[in-house]
Chains A and B, each alone.
Chain A
Amino acid sequence: DTQMTQSPSSVSASVGDTVIITCRASQGIASWLAWYQQRPGKAPKLLIFGASTLQSGVPSRFSGSGSGTDFTLTINSLQPEDSATYYCQQANSFPITFGPGTKVDIK
């Protein structure tokens, strides 16, 4: 299986800050990477797919980059509603696997 790791595991930042979350795959996955946001008690929401393509309706302060094994999710101008856990997910190899998540808190 392709193992996904994320760092940091949690981050606390202020409104207006920039938050960067990294995701690393145990083997190359080209650009087969997606990012999800999950608020407490809610289903995950797709933010980015193909490593860098913003899902329709997602604010432009979210952006993704990377290919191969190293990826980043950047949240510019952090907003209160961005308080959530963020997961990366690979679909290059079977079975599909998710990262362990990064919890973003607002100071």
Chain B
Amino acid sequence: QVQLQESGPGLVKPSQTLSLTCNVSGDSISSGDYYWSWVRQHPGKGLEWIGYIYYSGNAYYKPSLKSRLTISVDTSKNQFSLRLSSVTPADTAVYYCARRVTGHFDYWGQGILVTVSS
């Protein structure tokens, strides 16, 4: 059974960098069959895709976040990570990691709430 689990700080100060990691179990990131993704959800709002990465390290970002966003992969640990710099309260959201297969997301982590506040 594929499982994804997000981890990281739940509180980040404005202007700092938000860093999250997604640990994958039950599947190998190195299999090359999927893109490993981040999706966020602002409180009470809809879903927003923000980026994904292939096991090779090729990453694709939502254009409006590209200047602040870095997604990386560590195949030896079977995990991938997100770094979002210069955060503001507008980046407060539940962040989900998910597995993307041929366009859709079939497995999701439980999500982690990250609050940006001083």
Interchain CB contact under 8 A, A98 and B49: yes
The 8 A CB mask of B65-103 against A (1 = contact, 0 = none) is: 000000000000000000000000000000010000011
| Residue B33 CB within 8 A of the other chain | no
Q: Tell me the interface secondary structure of chain A in the complex.
A: loop
Q: A98-B47, A98-B48 are known contacts. Are A49 and B96 too (CB-CB below 8 A)?
A: no
Question: Is the Cβ of A95 less than 8 Å from the Cβ of B103?
Answer: no
Interface contact tally, CB-CB below 8 A: 54
**Shortest CB distance A24–B (Å):** 15
Question: Does A49 lie within 8 Å of B60, measured CB to CB?
Answer: no
Instruction: Place the interface of chain B in its size category.
Output: 10 to 19
Roughly how many angstroms separate A97 CA and B62 CA in the complex, as a whole number?
A: 10
Most chain-A Cβ atoms within 10 A of its Cβ — which of B47, B106, B108, B109?
B47
Residues of A within 8 A of B (CB): 32, 34, 36, 38, 42-46, 49-50, 55, 87, 89, 91-92, 94-101
